[in-house]
Amino acid sequence: MEITEAVSMLQCPLLKAYTSPVCWADLGCGSGVFTRALAALLPAGSSIHAVDQTAAWTDPGNLAVTVNFQQRDFVTAALDLPPLDGILMANALHYVRDQPAFLARIKRHLKPGAVFLIVEYDTDTPAKPWVPYPLSFDTLSILFRQQHFSQAHKLQERPSVYRRARLYSALISP
């Protein structure tokens, strides 16, 4: 996916409403396409903690935000994160087997009022090894409601180049 397409998937009123620097994490950042997209949408001076188990991350160069890369398995490793305004997981939550336990653990890093921004395939049918634990938007909404988040809003949809299931982005609010 190109950065402009990723930016389009992440655009939402919340990101536009920020007027001062914020702190986010991108869990399962891969090579950083969605990290760069998020960076393009956050105010100057913000920071993103990009976490991935592989060293595919490349320094994006001249950004108005600071990106701190951590090479760790975001599912199992203890994460060194400050209090966060939000967590981005783009094509990453479907790799987590025990999603309720993971969310219960990771939400401790969130400030009050913080959000999740998720990009996933809109299916509940696994496609191993690439999408072993998929979450349709309906399943995602239930999962986050069980974790005491009040609302999941579907933001964008687009066809997937790999599967018949569409990609969607969602904002999950407390």
> What is the structure's pLDDT at 155?
97
Count of CB atoms within 10 A of residue 70's CB? Answer: 18
> What is the structure's pLDDT at 163?
62
Per-residue pLDDT of the chain (174 residues; tens, 9 = 90+): 899 999 999 999 999 999 999 999 999 999 899 999 999 999 999 999 999 998 777 767 788 999 999 999 999 999 999 999 999 999 999 999 999 999 999 999 999 999 999 999 999 999 888 899 999 999 999 999 999 998 999 999 998 866 668 999 999 998
Nearest to 48 by CA among 162, 57, 173: 57
Q: How far apart are CA 137 and CA 31, in angstroms?
A: 25
User: At a CB cut-off of 8 Å and minimum separation 6, what does 12 contact?
Assistant: 117, 153, 155, 169, 171
Residue pair 172/115 in contact by the 8 Å Cβ criterion:
yes
> What is the structure's pLDDT at 130?
86
152: CATH:
3.40.50.150
Q: What is the pTM of this model?
A: 0.95
Domain that holds residue 62: 3-173
> What is the structure's pLDDT at 55?
76
Nearest to 10 by CA among 121, 165, 122, 119: 119
Q: What strand order describes the sheet that includes 167-173?
A: 66-71, 47-52, 23-27, 84-90, 110-121, 167-173, 151-158
State how many domains the chain has. Answer: 1
> What is the structure's pLDDT at 33?
94
Helix (H, G, I), strand (E, B) or coil at 2: coil
Residue pair 25/68 in contact by the 8 Å Cβ criterion:
no
> What is the structure's pLDDT at 165?
81
> What is the structure's pLDDT at 57?
72
